[in-house]
Amino acid sequence: MKIGVIGGGAWGTALAQVAAAGGDPVLLWALEPDVVEAVNTARENPVYLAGVPLSPAIRATTRLADLQGCEALLVVTPAQHVRKILSGIDASGVPLVLCAKGIEAGSRKLVSEVAEEVQPDAAIAVISGPTFAHEVAKGLPTAVTLACADEALGASLASRLARPNFRPYASTDVIGSEIGGAVKNVLAIACGVVEGRGLGLNARSALIARGFAEMTRFGLAKGARVETLSGLSGLGDLVLTCSSTQSRNFSLGKGLGEGRGAAELMADRRTIAEGAFTAPVLQEAARATGVDMPVVDAVCALLDGSASADTIVSALLARPLRPEGR
Ligand SMILES: NC(=O)C1=CN([C@@H]2O[C@H](COP(=O)(O)OP(=O)(O)OC[C@H]3O[C@@H](n4cnc5c(N)ncnc54)[C@H](O)[C@@H]3O)[C@@H](O)[C@H]2O)C=CC1
Ligand SMILES: O=C(CO)COP(=O)(O)O
C-alpha cells in the first residue's frame, strides 16, 4: 500500500517516518518549499522536526497532484486547513486517514465530518492517541487508536502502519476517537495555566480528572463510546498532553498562567497549538448540546482576555459543591 502524507509539520513528518520504516516509498506533501527541499536533500525537516534523521524512502513534494497513485492518504494538516486541502485533491476510492486534532470553526464539524462532506466517496479512518511527534519519529514505543467504521479496512491500515514500537489499536468509533483528541488540547491549555501560576500537582490532577468528566459528558452527548473516551485517544492523550511542556497546548497555557497574552504567545510560534482554535468552537458546540464544560469556558475567557487567570481559578473553586459523577 503506497502511502501519501499530506502535511509536513512535526506529526506528518513523524508519520511519514513510521510509514517508511519498512523501506516502502512514502510521498510527503508539504506547504513550504524549504521543508520539501530539506527533506529531499538533507533528509531532515529542520523547520518542524529538527534533529531527527529521516528515512531515504521519504520523498517530499509541494504539488498535491503528485499524490495521485497513492493507495492511502494520511491527512495531517491542522484541522482548520483540512477542508481547503481536501478540496484540492482527487481522493475517490482512496482511504483518508485523518490525523489532525480539532473542530472546524464556523461549521463546528469534526475533521471526519468535514472530510465526508468534501470527499463523499472516500473511506475515512482516524489515527489519534498519546503521540509526541519527536518520540514517534525516533522510534520510541507508542500506541494509538486507529478508528474506521469498515473493520477490514481498519485492519489493513493497521497492519500497514504497525511497527514493533508503533502499535495501532483498532476501533470503529471514529467520532469518539476524534472528540478525545480535540477536547484534550483545550484541557492541556488549562493544565499549563496551573503550572504557570504554580498551583501545584494536586490541582493539576484535579483538573485532569474534572476535565475528563467534561470530555466524557460532551463525548457521550455526541455519540462517542465510553471505552473510546477512556482509551488511548481520550484519557491516554489527555494525561500525556497535560503533563509536559513538550506539548504546545500545555506550554501556551503555561505562558498564559505566567501573565502573558494569548496574541503575543501565538505570534511567537510557527507551530500549531490546536486547542486555541478549538476552544471557542468547542464552547459553542457544548452550549448548543446543553453540556456544561466549565474548564473549557475558563480557557476561552483566558484566550479572549476577558478574565485574568486568578479570577478564573477563583471562580472555578467557588462553583457549588456537587456529586462527583455529575
Ligand atoms: N506534533 C504532534 O506531536 C502531534 C500533532 N497532532 C496534530 O497534527 C496536526 C498537525 O500538527 P503538527 O504536524 O504538529 O503541525 P506543526 O505545528 O508541526 O506545523 C504546522 C503545520 O501547519 C501547516 N500549515 C500552516 N498553514 C497552512 C495552510 N494554510 N494550509 C495547510 N497547512 C498549513 C504547516 O505547513 C505545517 O505542516 C494538528 O492537528 C495536531 O494537533 C497530532 C498528534 C501529535
Ligand atoms: O497531540 C499531541 C500529543 O498526542 C501533541 O500535543 P500538542 O499539540 O499540545 O503539542
Best CA proximity match to 298, nearest among 179, 226, 199:
199
- Domain boundary, last residue among 149, 172, 195: 172
Examine the pLDDT at 85 and tell me if it is beyond 90.
Answer: yes
Higher-confidence position of 79 and 324: 79
User: Is 181 found in the same domain as 143?
Assistant: no
User: Is 130 found in the same domain as 226?
Assistant: no
What's the one-letter identity of residue 172?
A: T
How many domains in the chain?
Answer: 2
- Report which ligand 2 atom has the smallest distance to the Cα of 251: 9
- Domain boundary, last residue among 130, 148, 172: 172
Residue span of the structural domain in which 47 resides: 3-172
* Pocket lining: 166 vs ligand 1, CB cutoff 6 Å: no
Q: What does the alpha-carbon distance between residue 37 and residue 49 come to, in Å, rounded to a whole number?
A: 14
Length of the chain as a residue count = 326
- Report which ligand 1 atom has the smallest distance to the Cα of 35: 35
At 181-214, the pLDDT tens digits run: 999 999 999 999 999 999 999 999 999 999 999 9
In a domain, 104, yes or no: yes
The SS3 of residue 4 is strand
pTM: 0.97
Distance 315 CA to ligand 1 centre (A): 33
Please state, for a pLDDT cut of 90, what percent of the chain lies above it: 94
Q: What does the alpha-carbon distance between residue 25 and residue 21 come to, in Å, rounded to a whole number?
A: 9
Strand-pair partners of 60 = 28
What pLDDT score does 255 carry?
A: 96
Examine the pLDDT at 110 and tell me if it is beyond 90.
Answer: yes
In a domain, 51, yes or no: yes
pLDDT category at 21 given cuts 50, 70, 90 is very high
What pLDDT score does 318 carry?
A: 87
In a domain, 220, yes or no: yes
* Spatial contact of 1 and 71, defined as CB atoms under 8 Å apart: yes
Mean pLDDT (the chain) is 96
Annotated binding site: 11, 48, 101, 129, 131, 133, 184, 237, 247-249, 272, 274
What's the one-letter identity of residue 212?
A: F
CA distances (Å), origin 326, targets 69, 163, 210: 50, 40, 10
pLDDT category at 124 given cuts 50, 70, 90 is very high
At 229-274, the pLDDT tens digits run: 999 999 999 999 999 999 999 999 999 999 999 999 999 788 999 9
Task: State in Å, rounded, how far the first CA of the chain is from the last one.
Answer: 46
* Spatial contact of 145 and 234, defined as CB atoms under 8 Å apart: no
CATH number at residue 235: 1.10.1040.10
At 308-318, the pLDDT tens digits run: 999 999 989 98
Beta-sheet pairing, 72-75 with 58-61: unpaired
User: Is 144 found in the same domain as 60?
Assistant: yes
User: Is 58 found in the same domain as 161?
Assistant: yes
Distance 310 CA to ligand 1 centre (A): 31
Distance 271 CA to ligand 1 centre (A): 7
What pLDDT score does 264 carry?
A: 93
Q: What does the alpha-carbon distance between residue 251 and residue 275 come to, in Å, rounded to a whole number?
A: 11
At 47-82, the pLDDT tens digits run: 999 999 999 999 999 999 999 999 999 999 999 999
The 10 Å Cβ neighbour count of residue 320 is: 4
User: Is 90 found in the same domain as 7?
Assistant: yes
